[in-house]
Structure 1
Amino acid sequence: MAAPDSVAIDIDHLKAWIGREDTATDVIGEDLARKYHAMFDMPNASPRHGEAVPRLIHFCLAQAAIPTSGLGVDGHPTRGGFLPPVPLPRRMWAGGALTFHGDLKVGDAVKRISRIADVTLKEGRTGPLCFVTVAHRVEANGALLIEERQDIVYRAADTGGAGKAPPPAESGSFVKPMAAGTPLLFRYSALTFNAHRIHYDRPYATEVEGYPALVVQGPMQAALLCNYATELRGVPPVHFSFRGLSPLFDTDAFALHAKADKDGLALWTARDGGPVSMAAEASW
């Protein structure tokens, strides 16, 4: 199978990455906790040494320190290494699922063990899609605290074809208006050491990748929804999953939505009058 830009995809070669592992370590400092709280305007005081940190703050931990010379034109690390060298040009974090066995705390020495769990190739509306599933185990002080599945999707560049517009999102039983301006996107990219240019380089995002504005990070939307679930229930969820459905941009006025669903909450982000951007489930 070949992508629209005639790049061949050797799925058997890419599947050879299944089972590869990587281990990274980090320490949760008071400085990170303080900046994370400030970034999201959390009303309570930031946690001090020995106190629990918010769910999903571990997205900021143990990020690969790739030299700037090792970045591709899009700001991502060049293909290869731990992740398979998928030749499609667009790479996005599509979603994930997490189970929390306990709290990470300020001062914890954290170890993340990552393994390539699966690589699959599918045909999408605009061409081939390659999905890479990564399984993470996050440990602290010898105890397993987080089990995580991360879904990464690679796709071809947009061809300009218009598909059927998704319907507008419904309003939740609980709604929290939000704004994702450029400073918020910049701060999240900085804390996660993410150089993907669609989140901070407006000319690149609009002129090269064809977006109307800067793209709001999917993991940041997930963090906002997880924080909202914690705010509504008073305690952080034990299980949390999320899936990106449509892009959200820094120029959009949007809201966090939630409603009761089975044993937990269904949550989603949506711009005013627009479709669901990120859908999530939280349970306790």
Structure 2
Amino acid sequence: MQSIRSLAARRLRSSPSSCFTATPASALGPGSARFPMAIFAAQLRGIKASSKLQQESTADTIEYSKLSDEDLNEGLQRETSESGARKPFNVEYLRESMARRPHRATYDFLSPGHSHLLNIALWDALPLEARAGNIPDSPQSSASEETSISQFFMPSASAPANNSDHELPSGHHLVYFPLQRPISLLEPDGTDPAQSPGVPFVRRMWAGGALDFRRPQNMQLNGARAVCVERLDTPNMVMRGGWGREKIFVDVVRRYGANVADLDPSPSMTAPEKLLALENKVWDDADFEERRTLVFMRAKDDVPEEDAAEAAKKPKAEERIIKSPREPEYSFSFTPTPTLLFQFSALSYNAHAIHLDLNYCRNVEGHRDLLVHGPLTLVLMLSAIRSRNTNSQVSPGRFIRMFEYRNIAPLYANEELRVCVRRNVQGRAGDERSVSEPSARWDVWVENNRGGICARGTAVTHV
């Protein structure tokens, strides 16, 4: 059996643009990030993050970490087979198996094209103050004039160094660093197998996440090469729910580095050891960090009829209407269309069928219409927060410093939604940078057409 390291090296040589290298996900550890995202992720899943839990988790996995790859795979296959006979699934085999997956690095060029197209896709949805600035390099028309088609010309990638007008807007990273995997290697629902626990947990939803904008000014839309390094935070992986209703929460940590000047197209530079050194450098000192919490569940038809009938008695997430106790100080409303969902799927290279295939949504997942993307909901929330920037000394791309969010219930195409913002607390917000820099805290949430909260988050911004 080939080792993971040799397989990773082969992938590096064959595809340097989107590759796996051999640093294990277990390299994630306490203190590896300046922002306590792991604690937030634990809170997102409704569990308490404590040193005791971490110690217990470590003790539980010591035995599994000593298993050979062959023994681990056999154990995982046995658990998968026996889980069909109502035996509780031993998540530790799965945790160790996912911990041994190598990290992934995806390279891209930060040209303004994708950000520009996202601005256009959201043009009708966002009010002027919530847009990601004006379309770069375009002539401005007065409010009384009909919008000129020349406003939508593709902008130039050439810009002076550190030009704030060419900084990557907050949230627009979601249409860069796309999944680079042929269709034959995707999951049946169009999702990324590298993040999935695999059978029997084949249904995926975006549960929430957190963003830490450390040096956003480095993410310039100037055509420079950048890299995203991704690892699975398996120590924080958890399974909740009884047999047939299991939910496995997987945290995907992504760190981004811009202006990767160390990388050139020469064969010596794209050697695996060179790329590994570069990716480790970005991991240790990233310009921007993101944590995505994904939840995986069994297929709808993988549960016996009696259990499905019992589950059907419980109200669905969208039926449990939770309303905000306070009115927003700012909000905007619009109705997401299937066209918008298609455009966002295309820009983010997201082939998940729940956003594209109405038949799949209704007959496989049990939803009444296409679902709005979790990442698109994130962009909308960040856009609403960006509208609160009244400080001319802080560029829009640098206004938001950190953001935590949670998706609570589905949002559907063809149903109006409202994005709301309200200032919460001004002053120090708990991160080390706020000691010397004044900051503000904002609550943001998204309501469906019945006024129920479907997503909510908290942002820390410059004042």
TM-score using structure 2 length: 0.57
Larger radius of gyration: 2
* C-alpha distance in 2 between matches for 1:73 and 1:198: 12
Structure with greater strand percent: 1
Partner of 1:260: 423
Q: Which residue of the other structure, out of 77, 90, 99, is the alignment partner of 1:18?
A: 99
Q: Is the 8 A contact 2:197 2:296 kept in 1?
A: no
Q: Is the 8 A contact 1:9 1:87 kept in 2?
A: no
* C-alpha distance in 2 between matches for 1:214 and 1:260: 32
* C-alpha distance in 2 between matches for 1:272 and 1:224: 16
Quote how far apart the aligned CAs of 1:181 are: 0.6
List aligned pairs for 1:187-202, cutoff 5 A.
187-202=343-358
* C-alpha distance in 2 between matches for 1:60 and 1:252: 24
Secondary structure of the residue aligned to 2:388 is helix
Segments of 5+ residues of structure 1 without an aligned counterpart are: none
Secondary structure of the residue aligned to 1:227 is helix
Partner of 1:88: 201
Distance change in 2, residues 1:3/1:144 (3 Å): same
Which residue identity is paired with 2:177?
A
Quote how far apart the aligned CAs of 1:264 are: 1.5
* C-alpha distance in 2 between matches for 1:193 and 1:128: 28
Between the aligned residues of both structures, percent identity stands at: 24
Secondary structure of the residue aligned to 1:233 is coil
List aligned pairs for 1:32-51, cutoff 5 A.
32-41=114-123, 42=131, 44-46=134-136, 48-49=156-157, 50=159, 51=166
Partner of 1:278: 455
Q: Is the 8 A contact 1:4 1:156 kept in 2?
A: no
Q: State which drifts further: 35-44 or 121-130.
A: 121-130
Aligned residues, how many? 282
Partner of 2:409: 246
Secondary structure of the residue aligned to 1:135 is strand
Which residue identity is paired with 1:76?
T
Query: Is 1:117 equivalent to 2:294 in the alignment?
Result: no
What is the CA RMSD across the aligned residues, in angstroms? 2.5
Q: State which drifts further: 159-168 or 103-112.
A: 159-168
* C-alpha distance in 1 between matches for 2:248 and 2:92: 12
Which residue identity is paired with 2:458?
E
Distance change in 2, residues 1:239/1:124 (3 Å): farther
Partner of 1:129: 247
Segments of 5+ residues of structure 2 without an aligned counterpart are: 1-78, 124-130, 137-154, 160-165, 261-284, 301-307, 391-395, 426-439
Distance change in 2, residues 1:242/1:82 (3 Å): closer
Partner of 1:161: 313
Quote how far apart the aligned CAs of 1:48 are: 4.3
Partner of 2:362: 206
Post-superposition Cα deviations, 1:161-196, rounded to whole Å, max 9, x if no partner, equal: 332742342342211112111111001111111111
Q: Is the 8 A contact 1:21 1:82 kept in 2?
A: no
Please list every run of at least 4 consecutive aligned residues from structure 1 whose deviation after the TM superposition is greater than 6 angstroms.
1-5
Partner of 1:139: 257
Secondary structure of the residue aligned to 2:106 is strand
Q: Which residue of the other structure, out of 206, 214, 235, is the alignment partner of 1:101?
A: 214
